[in-house]
Amino acid sequence: MINKFFFLMLLAELIASTSQVLLKKSAEKNYPNIIREYLNALVIGGYSLLVLSMVISIFCYDGLGYMGVVVMEPVGYIIVMIMSRLFFGEKVSRRKLLGVALILSGIVIFNVLG
């Protein structure tokens, strides 16, 4: 079941995770007024990337089917965890690593048995 749609879905998750980092970066800043808080490059870029990710994910339904896309969605949690460590210095706990292991094992089981 690993095909071009699988890699496209990984790309979509990477794009969505990048958008989450941009939105968090924007949330950390103080803005002079509410308009600047919502209309700035980080927010517009973040939401634009979310739309792009959604379009790619919808395209992936053709090749992966509903369950294939749903199973790949949690990869975003792993990518966000890695990016949070890199860009924000957040700690990676044992519980997070256990969660990553469970997500990856679920994806492998689905692809092997599915």
Q: What does the pLDDT look like over 25-71, one tens digit per residue? A: 999 999 999 999 999 999 999 999 999 999 999 999 998 888 888 98
Rounded Cα–Cα distance for residues 9 and 57 (Å): 6
Average pLDDT over residues 15-27: 96
The pLDDT value recorded for residue 113 is 85
> Which of 112, 110, 28, 102 lies closest to 71 in space, CA to CA?
110
Rounded Cα–Cα distance for residues 56 and 52 (Å): 6
What is the pTM for the complete model shown?
0.88
